[in-house]
Amino acid sequence: MPIIGVDYDKCTGCRMCMIECPRRYFINESENRVFFEDIDNTCSLCGHCIAVCPEDAILYEDFGDEAFTFDGIDQLEKIVPYDNLYKFIRAHRSIRHFKKKEVPKEILMKVLDLMQYAPTGSNLRLEKYVVISDREKLKAISDAVIETLMQNPGMRDQYEESFGILKKRYEIPVFLDAPHVIFVYSMLDMQLADHNIGIIITYGRLAAQSLGLGTCWNGWTQIACLESKKVMKLAGIRGKHMGAFVIGYPNITHKRCPPRSRKPVKGLKET
Ligand SMILES: Cc1cc2nc3c(=O)[nH]c(=O)nc-3n(C[C@H](O)[C@H](O)[C@H](O)COP(=O)(O)O)c2cc1C
């Protein structure tokens, strides 16, 4: 268990760990002090105790990662003010034109690193990651995705014409000639798996944008994976839940953010 205890030389008994812990560990009412109850395997390792302790007194090991802090952690709205985030998100686009240049491994690692800070239900973090950069392999998967989708009458009606156009435009149509595809999959068939994967991919796409990269979700592959083991096998992934996005250097610039239809919101109160 990575959370291994409380450093009592540092602990002042402020009880912040106890108040913050979603599972209410760190409670010893009789001794009226914070103490380290034997944490059983219901601890979700969310690390909120580490995050809130003013004395950095929570002891842990084996996370494979270290806690860190920075100036402004208590005023995140100053690190990324809403106006900047608004522009960053409004200008976030699906990119379908890529330079041939490959993304260096250390840059891809930065994207994959931030993906792994995405929240997941119960902090289970069971997802697995695969990057495919081999063009032959991407071509084989792309062909298998199209073949699979064209066998489904609904998908054929919707996409036959589009794939005809994409095949003329791209060598690897499903992946829009991007140099890399990142797959995220989960072998555990749990209810929230698709949400987790969706959030992870969104973190990755935003991280990519902050590094000057472009991305596009790849729902086609996801649907084909649900219908064909061949696509899964070629991609080297397993399970019932997966998502994929293409990533590379964009070969297009956008000049403005298009409008979006606005949805009515129920329940907002005048304050
Ligand atoms: C779950 C999901 C799956 C998607 N699948 C594909 C896809 O297979 N191919 C594609 O070209 N775009 C795909 N897209 C991109 C959408 O078409 C795109 O987000 C939408 O048209 C809005 O454009 P924008 O992302 O540039 O704002 C997908 C987007 C999402 C959220």
Asked whether residue 20 falls in the same domain as residue 126, the answer is no
Domain match, 240 and 142 both: yes
Write the CATH number for 180: 3.40.109.10
pLDDT (0 to 100) of residue 5: 79
- The answer to whether the CB of 248 falls within 8 A of the CB of 180 is yes
**Same domain (yes/no): 47, 136:** no
Residue 159: CB within 6 Å of ligand 1? no
In-domain check, residue 258: no
Residue 95: domain span = 86-248
Question: Domain ends where: 44, 69, 94?
Answer: 69
Contacts 24+ apart (CB under 8 A), 129-133: 129/182, 129/183, 129/184, 130/182, 130/183, 130/185, 130/235, 130/236, 130/237, 131/180, 131/181, 131/182, 131/183, 132/180, 132/181, 132/183, 132/235, 132/236, 133/102, 133/179, 133/180
Q: Which helix (H) or strand (E) holds 181?
A: strand 180-186
> What's 14's domain CATH number?
3.30.70.20
| Whole-number pLDDT of residue 180 | 98
Spell out the residues 6+ positions from residue 228 whose beta carbon is closer than 8 angstroms to its own.
Answer: 144, 148
Please check whether residue 265 lies inside any domain of the structure.
no
- Cα dihedral: 165, 170, 176, 181 (round 10): 140
pLDDT number for residue 114: 98
Cβ of residue 158 lying under 6 Å from some atom of ligand 1: no
Q: What is the spatial distance between Cα 235 and Cα 167, in angstroms, rounded to a whole number? A: 20
Same domain, 98 and 36: no
Distance 253 CA to ligand 1 centre (A): 17
Q: What is the pLDDT of residue 91?
A: 98
Mutate to test the pocket of ligand 1, among 170, 216, 220, 225 (most ligand atoms within 8 A of CB): 216
Residue 264 in any domain: the answer is no
User: 51 and 150, same structural domain?
Assistant: no
Question: Would you say residue 224 lies in a domain?
Answer: yes
Atom of ligand 1 nearest to the CA of 218: 8
Domain membership of residue 16 (yes or no) is yes
| 39 and 135 within one domain | no
Which residue among 92, 94, 201 is best mutated to probe the pocket of ligand 1, counting the most ligand atoms within 8 A of its Cβ?
94
pTM: 0.94
In this structure, which residue's CA is closest to atom 27 in ligand 1?
Answer: 93
Same domain, 134 and 229: yes
Shared-domain flag, residues 147 and 116: yes
Same domain, 120 and 37: no
Kindly give the number of the ligand 1 atom that is closest to the alpha carbon of 221.
Answer: 8
Of 98, 90, 89, 124, nearest to 203 (Cα)? 89
**Cβ of residue 90 lying under 6 Å from some atom of ligand 1:** no
Q: Decide: 257 and 90 in contact? Cβ < 8 Å.
A: yes
* Mean pLDDT per 10-residue interval, the chain, length 271 residues: 81 85 66 56 83 92 90 97 98 98 98 97 94 98 97 93 96 98 94 96 98 98 94 95 98 97 93 82
* Alpha carbon of 95 to ligand 1 centroid (Å): 9
Structural domain count of the chain: 2
Q: Is residue 79 part of a domain?
A: no
